[in-house]
Amino acid sequence: MDIINYLADSGPWSWIIAGLVILGLELVVSGFFLVWLGIAAVLTGLITLAQPLPWPWQWLIFGVLSLASILVWTSISRRRRANSTEPELNRRTDRYIGHEAVLDRPIVDGYGRLALGDTIWRITGPDLPIGQRIRIVGADGAVLRVEAV
């Protein structure tokens, strides 16, 4: 009960300190998610510092600010991702879809390897001999799906 009484007595500062701790956790845990919760906690503390409020109202303000900040960031990040000049930058397999090549190793039991650029890719498709011309039609993770041309 002493902890609850202490938090009730120093309500605004508890929110501000909790927000700073959450922001510090963001440095350790990646994901950029805790930033918005930390900002919401600090803002809740500042609001409560200016206008003392009972605990249920403080939690309501924290919840609304957290949800609003996450929704705003989600919409901004989706819009920013959609306008990228290189949408396949971190999806290397997508760059090769539609690309044609010649097998330098056979596909046996549905799997093989193919050298593209400076990388040797694992490929899957029908069994095909060396020298067969193939087209990349898709990807499953880091495995390229191919078909004969």
Indicate the pLDDT class of residue 117, thresholds 50, 70 and 90: confident
Neighbouring CB atoms inside 10 A of 126's CB total: 11
Helix, strand or coil for residue 86?
A: coil
pLDDT by residue (tens digit) across 122-141?
999 999 999 999 999 999 88
Q: Is residue 87 part of a domain?
A: no
Looking at residue 9, its amino acid is D
Q: 34 near 19, Cβ under 8 Å? A: no
Of the candidates 41, 62, 82, which is a domain's last residue? 82
Of the candidates 82, 103, 130, which is a domain's last residue? 82
Q: Which structure tokens are listed for 117? A: 């650029």
Q: Does one domain contain both 77 and 120?
A: no
The answer to whether the predicted template modeling score (pTM) of the entire model surpasses 0.85 is no
pLDDT by residue (tens digit) across 67-108?
999 998 888 877 766 555 665 566 778 888 899 999 989 999
Q: Does one domain contain both 6 and 77?
A: yes
Q: Does one domain contain both 115 and 142?
A: yes
Look up the domain containing 96 and give its range: 92-148
Q: Does one domain contain both 59 and 118?
A: no
Of the candidates 51, 82, 113, which is a domain's last residue? 82
Nearest Cα to Cα of residue 75 among 87, 64, 67: 67
